[in-house]
Amino acid sequence: MAAGPGSTPPSVPEGEFSFVGNLLCVDFVNTEVVSHGEPLDRLAGVDELLRWARAAGVVDDVAVRRLPAAWRAGREAGGLLRDAKALRAVLRAAVDALAAGRQPPAELLPAINHALALGASTLRVERRGSDYATVREVIDPSPAALLAPIAESAAWLLEHGDRALIRRCENGACVRFFYDTTKNRRRRWCSMDGCGSRAKAAAYYRRRKAIGAQGLGRE
């Protein structure tokens, strides 16, 4: 289910979205990234928001096809994007506070409850080969329904999760967060393939440089 940790979303085009947060609400926050030293918003428009929602398992292809084409452009689309980014901003402030050991902002609960009240959807279990998957089907084909599962995830974190396990990637140039579900609770990087690998490479370079400096000093 989307609310709790541990689900694995379907694959997405390389570089478009990342799902390293272990919680849907954290992955939503992580749609704001830094690329080549510059801020980058992965949700530039409604189409990107829909692709993220599909990739994250918020809705399936059937639900996306049922969404009215009318609100993909114009006033309703603009309203959806504004609502999504407003929710994301509150969630970012909340996970940033939790990662620093502070209480989340007061506006978090009203934002969560607003999104929960507007969303109308149901869950369906379907078979995928030899496995099973729980997918969300939108009952009310409205923009607001896309935000409700994100709010459910945030509500799960507040009620059932260990808020102390919200961490920020230790790469100072990275702005991504994660919910640490590792056994020893000592995860440091948003991704070992990304920031973790770069940190290891940098440490190796520093060690080799130090060894070289020591060798020159003995000559």
Domain ranges in the chain? Answer: 24-187, 189-219
Please give the span between the terminal C-alpha atoms of the chain, in angstroms, as a whole number: 63
Rounded CA-CA distance 31/91 in Å is 12
Per-residue model confidence (pLDDT) at position 104: 96
Q: Which pLDDT score is estimated for 2?
A: 44
Query: Which residues are within 8 A (CB) of 206 and not within 5 positions of it... i.e. 6 or more apart?
Result: none
pLDDT in tens, the chain (219 residues): 446 654 444 434 445 798 999 999 999 999 999 888 899 999 998 889 988 988 998 877 776 776 666 666 667 777 888 999 999 999 999 999 999 999 999 999 999 999 988 776 778 898 989 999 887 776 665 667 789 899 999 999 999 999 999 999 998 889 999 999 999 998 998 876 768 565 455 444 445 554 454 555 555
Interhelix angle 148-159/75-99, nearest 10 degrees: 20
Q: What is the DSSP letter of 192?
A: I
| Side chain identity at residue 36, one-letter code | H
Question: How many residues are given for the chain?
Answer: 219
The three-class DSSP label of residue 37 is coil
Topology adopted by domain 24-187: Jann2411-like fold (1.10.3300)
State how far the Cα of 59 lies from the Cα of 136, in Å rounded to an integer.
Answer: 5
Cα separation, 142 vs 150, in Å, equals: 15
Secondary structure of 77-114 in HEC code, one letter for each residue: HHHHHHHHHHHHHHHHHHHHHHHCCCCCCCCHHHHHHH
In the block, residue with structure tokens 């440490």: 203
Q: Quote the pTM value.
A: 0.78
Amino acid at 100: A
